[in-house]
Amino acid sequence: MLIKTNKSRPAFGCVCVPKAATPLHYFKESNQLTAYKVDRHFFNCFVPGEKPNAPIIAQTNIKKA
């Protein structure tokens, strides 16, 4: 059941990245998917939907089914 209200509701998100891993963020724009190499602080302050200001690791075109 979906309930819609105008009241604010607290939410919580969590990202776990092992110390030895390189944190990546994937961003889709029109038909292209881009992987960005981000630092560990990126996930604390990024705005969903905004393109990251970080080095690009890879890009690929997305094929429509």
Q: Residue 35 contacts by C-beta under 8 Å, 6 or more apart in sequence?
A: 24, 25, 26, 56, 57, 58, 59
Write down the pTM of the prediction: 0.71
Confidence (pLDDT) at 38 = 94
CA distance 53 to 5: 35
Q: Specify the length of the chain in residues.
A: 65
pLDDT tens sequence for the chain (65 residues): 778 888 888 888 788 889 899 899 999 998 999 999 999 889 888 888 899 999 999 999 998 76
User: What is the DSSP secondary structure assignment for residue 42, as one 8-state letter?
Assistant: H
Confidence (pLDDT) at 45 = 87
